[in-house]
Amino acid sequence: MPRKRAGAVHLKSKAEIEAIGRCGAIIGALFAEIAPRIVPGVTTAELDRFVDTFIRSHKGAVPAFKGLYGFPGSACISINEEVVHGIPSRRALHEGDIVSVDVGVKRRGWCADSAFTFPVGEIRDEARHILAVTRDALDMAVAAARPGNHVGDIGAAVVETVRDTGLAIIRDLVGHGVGREIHEEPQVSNIGEPGFGVPLREGMVLAIEPMLARGTERIATLEDRWTVISADRSLSAHFEHTVAVTASGPAVLTAGGIWDAAGPGPGTGEDPDRSGFPLDNAGATARYP
């Protein structure tokens, strides 16, 4: 979730998308494994160690965030008002928290990137609401990632999903292309207009990652120079998939058990067209529509 910038877009072959999908499947499986470990009392450093060990248990796979721009952890773990880039620490989770776990995997020269915001024990209705809407915004944004659309259609889907929910879209952080590097072009803003921006073409691989807050859309960075919070310290949530744009529609490369188990968010009440989604790729091989 880099800050805004510009450059060239690299298209990927089917074999390259499969290689990215193998990275993505590791993250999908990781989230299913880590979910029962996200409980009151566990520290974010303990979760980070689990992430690191799980990723490295897959031959050739390494945590892509470790050392990226100098980041010290293997996962970004962000609690409550923290939006992204939380540094794993001795801080323990509490009942009622929501915690975003954002993970990159690099294997054999290819990367995938995904984030999931988990509830810690029983959470309040307002927390449940922001999780559901953010999740729904991701689903709708993914559904817009098809040839013939533009990057603006992805942001427009987020805007449309979040409209009338009372939640704010964090606009100073964006999704991005993924491939040889975790962060490639194009930027994928969570604000957009249909038909505007970079045209989506077969072979693009994008990290789509809506970030919402209950209060202001503005963000601030803590003194650790990493952790990004909502400027008013309101609750925030973040969900992210790595998605390939294919001839027959979006192919989610970071799906797996937790995404299916958690179910779609209630949000708009509309069901995105899931016909092209290979949702079950937890078996470490990407599938295509």
Residues engaged in binding Mg ion (CB under 5 A) = 1, 102, 113, 115, 207, 240
Least distance from Mg ion to the Cβ atom of residue 69, Å: 13
Alpha-carbon radius of gyration of the chain: 17
Nearest distance from C-beta of residue 135 to Mg ion, angstroms: 15
Bridge-partner residues for 228, per DSSP?
Answer: 84, 221
List strand residue ranges (DSSP E) for 209-285, in order.
211-213, 219-221, 228-230, 236-238, 241-246, 249-252
Of 74 and 268, nearer to Mg ion (C-beta) is: 74
Nearer to Mg ion, 237 or 268 (CB): 237
Alpha-carbon distance of 275 to 56, in angstroms, equals 33
Q: Which two tokens stand for residue 107?
A: 């294997």
Q: Measured from the CB atom, is 239 or 268 closer to Mg ion?
A: 239
Both tokens of 99, joined, read: 């915690």
Question: Rounded to an integer, what distance in angstroms lies between the CA atom of residue 225 and that of residue 106?
Answer: 24
Exposure string over 217-226, b if 16+ CB within 10 A, otherwise e: bebeeeeeeb
Closest distance of CB 178 from Mg ion, Å: 7
Q: Which is nearer to Mg ion, 113 or 139 (CB)?
A: 113
Shortest CB 76 distance to Mg ion, Å: 7
Nearest distance in Å: CB 120, Mg ion: 20
Pick 207 or 268: Cβ nearer Mg ion: 207
Residue among 52 and 113 whose Cβ is closer to Mg ion? 113
How near is the Cβ of 10 to Mg ion at its closest, in Å? 16
Say if strands 219-221 and 168-169 run parallel, antiparallel, or are unpaired. unpaired
Burial of 38 (0-12, 13-18, 19+ CB in 10 A): buried
Smallest separation (angstroms) from Mg ion to the CB of 115? 5
- CB count in 10 Å sphere of residue 246: 21
**Which burial class, exposed, middle or buried, applies to 261 when counting CB atoms under 10 A from its CB (0-12, 13-18, 19+)?**
exposed
Yes or no: say if 143 and 272 are a contact pair by the CB < 8 Å rule.
yes
Q: Which is nearer to Mg ion, 156 or 178 (CB)?
A: 178
